[in-house]
Structure 1
Amino acid sequence: MFNFDFYNPTRVLFGVDRIADIDKFIPKQARVLITYGGGSAKKYGTLDEVHAALGDRATFEFGGIEVNPHFDTLMKAVDVVKDNKIDFLLAVGGGSVVDGTKFIAAAALYAGDIWPLWSQRQPLKEAIPLGCVMTLPATGSETNHVAVVTHTALGQKSGYSDPLLFPQFAVLDPTKTYTLPATQVANGVVDAFIHVIEQYLTYPVYGKVQDRFAEGLLLTLIEEGPKALTDPQNYDVRSAITWSATLALNGLIAVGVPQDWATHRMGHQLTALYGIDHAQTLAILLPGLLQVQRESKKQKLLQYAERVWNIHAGSDDSRIDAAIAKTREFFELMGLKTQLSAYGQPKSAIDEILGNLQRFNMLPMGERSDIDLERAKQILMLSY
């Protein structure tokens, strides 16, 4: 196991009616900008609860943050922050709203165009403090320092991380997920599942604790994900999924072990170029990536087959094939298509995606940095 530092300062407020408790963790004199996405936060009363909890604090709102938040939209929010001397940000929504709010927190105190810093992953000197109220379990952004933003004019979707972007607190009330459309629930489960895979399905370094945590999360998502679609107001099911999504990317299972993230980096191109939902891009790409990388991932793929899918019989190759097939079946059971062609894209999209990977210097990738242009093409061909 590698040397590591582990740091996570985010306070988790889990359970029913926890929004009221945010009053304890925001300064009384704060000028607060509430950020959110579409109209559901208003429609279902979540924003009213937030305003009630904030009491007499000066509050402002900025809505309309997109799924895969856009640079141009977020820069409008930065203007609101500057014009109203905002000194605390409160994200209400899913991972995209939280990611966008992290960008706002960074950009509002940065002089000049922040995109070069963001896309080149340079460190921040300061950021506005933020908290979040989650309504969609998926990305884990509520308890980490990572954010992904799309610059539509450049066709670039870029991830960024900085310790200053950890939320100070995260409210996780599973009942707030009851009204989500089935598609968003399914996307969230698959997103969380592949977050775990990116940190687990690499190569062994005797990270036994991390492996067992990861396998427990994968099994939980496999067991509970389909139930969330058929029994949408089951608190126990939603609690398990909400907490799994948070633990999938709060840094705990990543410490001391190699990480992949090639599926995400390639998937970001599908979103930036074609607007395909983030989780859908991951479901498209992961089975093909596992096939192409089956030799370098062999030991962990066999472990995954045995411990997660209960596959014990047959040759090494047959067990790996079965595990990959089971993975694809799970995504399709959750309602996600697993081929790029199913989203109406022509085969020429492969060259366009490869062009983006080269243009933004994203190759090589993978835990061994062995996914070059040729391997990326093989993955995309299998994913088409």
Structure 2
Amino acid sequence: MTYTYHNPTLIEFGKEKIKSIFNYIPKDAKVLFVYGGGSIKKNGVYEQVVKALEKYESFEFSGVEPNPTVETMNKAVKIVKEKNINFILAVGGGSVIDGCKYLAAASLYEGDAWDFLDGTTQPTEALPLGVVLTLPATGSESNCGSVVSRKTTNEKRFFFSPKVFPMFAVLDPSVMITLDDRQLSNGLIDAFVHTCEQYLTYPNDSLLHDGYSETILKGLITLANNWNKRDTYHWQENLMLLANQALNGFIGSGVPQDWATHMIGHELTAFYGLDHARSLAVVQPQLLRVMFEDKKEKLLQMGQNVFNIDDAQKTIEKIEELYHSLEVSTNLNDYEIDDKVVSNITNALEKHEMTAIGEKQNITLDKIEQILTLTMK
């Protein structure tokens, strides 16, 4: 194990923590308060944020969509530059947070900030960013990754930069009370696959990383098995914490990571608008089947330590059953696709130079074609 791990995001976890943002935003800051479609006006979050910002000069930007686009976020960049804003407050789930990471970096960049997404350059500076999390799923509230789309070209890309780590993140589970079943199941599946991407590879020497990943996976399975309690605070706080720990960077430090399910899933979302988590649920089981020989040792370990079974093949079935128990289909035919889906996805991956992905860089375009064909079983 050789790695450097640094996570500078301060976490405020628990009820009535939104008011604490006053302690972390500089008193002379000009704040842009960014949110999505307005659901925060139904669960009391909007009022709490407005009250916490009452002593600041603040502005609002709303309308960040699921799978945020540069077309939308560039409108916010314009406001930041016109109003000389120097602090970004993201209030929402992973989409709002990812969009605001792009915003924080793009606001101090003179060129076209899509450069960060296509790999032309890396951010050298960014505005400070704070987060109030409303939808647990992506872990974006305390990591340095951002996934943003470009509508005009059907592209969904990502960048990582230590410059866009949030300064702080407020995680108040009580704000989850108005989330619907689709949002909750998506969040649980997203966190589950995030953990698998850092765990379901090949054996490593880290007892802590494997044990920590298995604890997260078992916790998420417990929540799925107690789906009828999803409207309780206890259930919601556990999802919020598990999703945060699944992708705050630690469980992937010093161990092999996969992420091929995400690369394929991103293209499905870009072309067909599938919910991010549902694209993962479609791709992952078939990827595990196609790459079984590479992954069978960790699948067996997961079966033994997470599902209490002694069978690597059945572990894949158990994962699929988990998604079905949340009423999420793993069959691509159940979503709005066309007969060009295989060529669209493989051509896009080739264009983005993702022709050898996965922990061993051996998930090639022919294997991706195989995976996608199996998803339409």
TM-score in terms of structure 1 length: 0.96
Find the partner of 1:351 among 336, 343, 351: 343
Counterpart amino acid of residue 96 in structure 2 = V
Distance 2:358 2:147 in 1: 18
Per-residue deviation, residues 326-377 of structure 1 (Å, max 9, x unmatched): 1001011112110111113234311111111111111110000001111111
Do the aligned partners of 2:356 and 2:364 also contact (CA within 8 Å) in 1? yes
1:374 aligns with 2:366: yes
Q: Within 5 Å, which residues of 2 pair with 1:208-219?
A: 208-219=207-218
User: Residue in 1 aligned with 2:329?
Assistant: 337
2:315 equivalent in structure 1: 323
Does the 8 Å CA contact 1:106/1:126 hold for their aligned counterparts?
Answer: yes
State the match for 2:148 in structure 1. 149
Task: Supply the distance in 1 between the matched residues of 2:368 and 2:191 (Cα, whole angstroms).
Answer: 23
Aligned positions of 1:177-196 closer than 5 A? 177-196=176-195
- Structure 1 residue 116: Cα displacement: 2.1
Kept in 1, the 8 Å contact 2:43–2:177? The answer is no
Give the drift of 1:182.
0.6
Whether the 8 Å CA contact 1:226–1:334 is kept in 2: the answer is no
Partners of 1:321 and 1:51 lie apart in 2 by 52
Distance in 2 (CA, whole Å) between partners of 1:380 and 1:158 is 20
- Equivalent residue number for residue 233 of structure 1: 231
Unaligned runs of 5+ in 2: none
- CA deviations on 1:189-243 (whole Å, 9 max, x unpaired) are 000000000000001121210000000000000101343x423331111111100
Task: Report if aligned partners of 1:178, 1:232 keep a CA contact under 8 Å in 2.
Answer: no
Report the alpha carbon displacement of residue 59 of structure 1 after superposing the two structures with TM.
0.7
SS at match of 1:97: helix
Q: Distance in 2 between matches of 1:322 and 1:233?
A: 31
Give the equivalent residue in structure 1 for 2:131.
132
Give the aligned residue type for 1:76. K
Q: Secondary structure at the match of 2:293?
A: coil
Distance (whole Å) between structure 1 residues aligned to residue 11 and residue 147 of structure 2:
22
2:324 maps to a residue whose letter is: E
Letter in 2 for 1:277: D
Residue 294 of structure 2 is aligned to residue 296 of structure 1: yes
Distance 1:124 1:90 in 2: 19
CA distance in 2, matches of 1:360, 1:347: 22
* Count of matched residue pairs: 376
Task: Give secondary structure in 2 for the equivalent of 1:246.
Answer: helix
Counterparts of 2:334 and 2:230 in 1: how far apart (Å)? 27
1:22 is aligned to 2:14: no
Aligned twin of 1:117: 116
Cα shift at 1:121: 6.2
TM-score for the superposition, normalised by structure 2: 0.98
- Partner of 2:68 in structure 1? 69
Within 2, Cα distance between the matches of 1:347 and 1:76?
35
Q: Which blocks of at least 5 consecutive residues in structure 1 are unaligned?
A: 313-318
Aligned to 1:37: 36
> Percent identical across equivalent pairs?
44
RMSD in angstroms over aligned alpha carbons? 1.0
Following the alignment from structure 1 to structure 2, what is the Cα–Cα distance between the partners of residues 48 and 58?
Answer: 16
Q: 1:257 matched to which residue of 2?
A: 255
How far apart, CA to CA, are the structure 1 residues paired with 2:341 and 2:245?
Answer: 34
CA distance in 2, matches of 1:370, 1:288: 16
Q: Which of structure 1's runs of 4+ aligned residues deviate more than 6 A?
A: none
> Do 2:290 and 2:371's aligned partners in 1 also have CA atoms closer than 8 Å?
yes
Q: Distance in 2 between the 1:253 and 1:232 partners?
A: 26
CA offsets 1:302-324 (integer angstroms, 9 cap, x no match): 10111111102xxxxxx122110
